[in-house]
Structure 1
Amino acid sequence: MGVSLKDIAERAGVSLATVSNVVNGYRPVGERTRQRVQRAIDELGYTPNLSARHLRRGRTGLIALAIPELTNPYFAELAEIAIREAGSLGYTLVMENTAGAYDAELSLLNGAQRHVIDGLVFSPVRIGRDEVLARTSDTPLVLIGEGVHDVPYDHIAIDNVAASRLAVRHLLALGRRRVAFIGARLGDESQAAHLRLRGYREALTEAGLPYRPELVAVTARFGRRDGVRAMRDLLDLDEPPDAVFGYNDLIAIGAVRAAREAGRDVPGEVAVVGIDDIEESRFGTPTLTTIAPDKEQIAHLAVRRLIARIEGAQVAGPLTPATPFRLVTRESTGFRSAAGTG
């Protein structure tokens, strides 16, 4: 037989209602009483039935994290943190892979899983502000990433313009003057690619350098192959770049590969910077200089805010913090680093 709340009440010498308040967090309980109840819980080895608790409250205990690309290491690393955070708060996190498809994103946004999940953490890339404002689902929603702005929902993201300026300023400080950007996109101006391009252009302007369209490469996706293809085209220019800022680490890693295949020294002839600080960036040859967003804070804020919304906590909103980021210098821009560090 499992340990019941009644068993805990008898061991702690308190009422069943007091034990319920401690276990479920319903009402404040005096610190001494709470400690006595917790001691009884520990001694008896009580484990709450989270499924039953959620069902009593009309919930499933499931939240979803919807991402555009399951194979992207950035999202995999973010998901691992989010799963851990959800579990610590008594929820199970399930994954939804939209593959960046407009119809899939729109379906999720408007409640395709509303009878299965209690809330959704969503990183959209195709839908925009109009679709979010026209949303028909009342399932609690927290946005992450940089695809949608100025909407009445919690939105956890870095400042892409500022992050990109920092990356390009670093390259310019090394004396590079033909800085390319790989990962531009056509379409919605609120997309992260446009914001990162804007930061790139602002850094050039600050340095008194002209914007050169031939040094900006549009890519279909944001993977290693896209970086390779774009870098090969850039190296064929009459005046190839002496530095590259990649939309993300995967593109930057592809650019490094293409440069080295072409016999170009990295960073001697071409310095490279990415964004995301994925684990792979610390183990390549050379290791990759990158902008490191605070993935821990992004995942923690998103999950905690979503669960607060689900449970009806009194929270101000919408929450739209610019989460921290930092420049991590490594070998791809001429800084020494041991594999797996920095």
Structure 2
Amino acid sequence: MPTTLRDVAQLAQVSVKTVSNVMNGYPHVSDGVRRRVEAAVEALGYRPNRSARTLRTGRAGVLALIVPEADLPGIGALARAVVRAAAGRGYRVVIDPIDSDPERAAVAHPPLPVDGCLLLANLPAVPGVGGLPVVRIGRFAPGGHVDRVGIDHVRASRDATAHLLGTGRRRIAAIDAGPGEPSPTPPGIQGYADALRAAGLAPLPGHFLRAPSHQRADGYRAARTLLAQHRRPDAVVCASDALAVGTLCAAFDAGVRVPEDLAVIGVGGSEEGRWARPALSTVSADTGFIARQAVARIVARIAEPNAAPVDVVAPHTLLPRASTRRADRSRVAHSSC
């Protein structure tokens, strides 16, 4: 016999109406009750009847996850986590990579009838997608008008740069990417500059580059430019793991040893970084936490479209690996491409 709302309510020790409110994202539920209901849903494996809900509410029961490129490191893990979190609330997910349509310069309309959109934050800023509710996932920038879920990118970049300083590096460069930010200084670069300033340093001329995108190839090209400079950096902090992997490859091709001659760190905590050689140091976020919070926010936004925007800051963790090990001239490291 399939699990019902009544079963969930009994296990969570709440009313059936309260379970329904949690499942439909209504915000007027205490955090403690919401956690009990979500734990009961997970324990019982409850899945709402989508057909019945569609007839009752007129909604599609589908969310769109809009990403810039389908093959960026970390996208697969995020997509899986979003699909799991959405299924727990009775939604299916359609994944829409913008790079699959070269004529799409910005996000305009989702590919199918959907109730709301989850939008990777390095895509062009929009107040809505086809008039639908939107939640951004990823880096924060001031002045947003939609719900946002992600790490504090200023602090993450500051922590990454401080880690490089702690290994003895002083000529630290930075590679960021993506479209222009609403603020004069992108969040990642602000954190990088803050960390240098706290150490009594400043970025050297030409040591900050902005790549067109987070593709590995763009990281490779930016790193080649840095490595060709007369005052070559001894470390690079990259705004994503993809840029950092491109930097590892550029160092390898230029005959620059990592970490002896150049330390490299990324942001993202992707599996690709763990399997690079040398293994990539990174600032990692809890992908499951981000996915659950993003789905919770979009469900709540669907229920109350005019509610004030909410920011949810996810915790992050610095994962030091071989690519930033303190330089030891007796060893030679090799990068993977």
Secondary structure at 1:150 match in 2: coil
1:33 aligns to what?
A: none
User: TM-score, normalising length from structure 1?
Assistant: 0.76
2:169 aligns to what?
A: 176
Structure 1 portions without partners, runs of 5+:
13-19, 28-37, 336-342
Secondary structure at 1:182 match in 2: strand
Once the two structures are aligned, what percentage of the paired residues are identical?
Answer: 36
1:211 aligns to what?
A: 203
Rate the CA distance shift 1:224–1:106 in 2: closer, same or farther, 3 A. closer
Rate the CA distance shift 1:237–1:26 in 2: closer, same or farther, 3 A. closer
1:96 aligns to what?
A: 96
1:321 aligns to what?
A: 312
CA distance in 1, matches of 2:236, 2:21: 54
1:230 aligns to what?
A: 222
2:135 aligns to what?
A: 142
CA distance in 1, matches of 2:230, 2:302: 57
Q: Which of structures 1 and 2 has the larger relative contact order (alpha carbons within 8 angstroms, sep 6+)?
A: 2
2:77 aligns to what?
A: 77
Give 1:136 shift: 8.4
Rate the CA distance shift 1:124–1:101 in 2: closer, same or farther, 3 A. farther
Give 1:321 shift: 2.1
Is contact 1:67-1:96 (8 Å) kept? yes
2:122 aligns to what?
A: 125
Is contact 1:123-1:147 (8 Å) kept? no
Q: Render the CA deviation track for 1:228-268: whole Å, top value 9, x for unaligned.
A: 22222222222211111112111111111221222222111
CA distance in 1, matches of 2:66, 2:259: 36
Is contact 1:101-1:126 (8 Å) kept? no
Q: 1:25 aligns with which of 20, 27, 39?
A: 20
1:332 aligns to what?
A: 323
Q: 1:244 aligns with which of 236, 245, 249?
A: 236
CA distance in 1, matches of 2:94, 2:283: 28
CA distance in 1, matches of 2:65, 2:297: 13
1:61 aligns to what?
A: 61
Q: Render the CA deviation track for 1:200-253: whole Å, top value 9, x for unaligned.
A: 111111111122131122312222212222222222222211111112111111
Structure 2 portions without partners, runs of 5+:
8-14, 23-39, 327-337
Is contact 2:172-2:236 (8 Å) kept? yes
CA distance in 2, matches of 1:267, 1:164: 19
Secondary structure at 2:313 match in 1: coil
Residue 63 of structure 1 aligns with an amino acid whose one-letter code is L
User: How many residues are treated as equivalent by the alignment?
Assistant: 298
Q: 2:259 aligns with which of 260, 267, 277?
A: 267
Q: 1:201 aligns with which of 161, 182, 193?
A: 193
Is contact 1:67-1:123 (8 Å) kept? yes
Q: 1:160 aligns with which of 153, 162, 168?
A: 153
Q: Which moved more, 1:160-169 or 1:118-127?
A: 118-127
Rate the CA distance shift 1:47–1:299 in 2: closer, same or farther, 3 A. closer
CA distance in 2, matches of 1:23, 1:206: 49
Higher helix share: 1
User: TM-score, normalising length from structure 2?
Assistant: 0.77
Structure whose CA Rg is larger: 1
Q: Render the CA deviation track for 1:117-147: whole Å, top value 9, x for unaligned.
A: 111112243533xx42xx5855332222236
Rate the CA distance shift 1:56–1:119 in 2: closer, same or farther, 3 A. same
Is contact 2:259-2:323 (8 Å) kept? yes
Q: Any residues of structure 2 matched to 1:279-318 within 5 Å, and which?
A: 279-311=271-303, 317-318=308-309
1:30 aligns to what?
A: none
Q: Which moved more, 1:85-94 or 1:218-227?
A: 218-227
RMSD in angstroms over aligned alpha carbons?
A: 3.5
Give 1:57 shift: 1.7
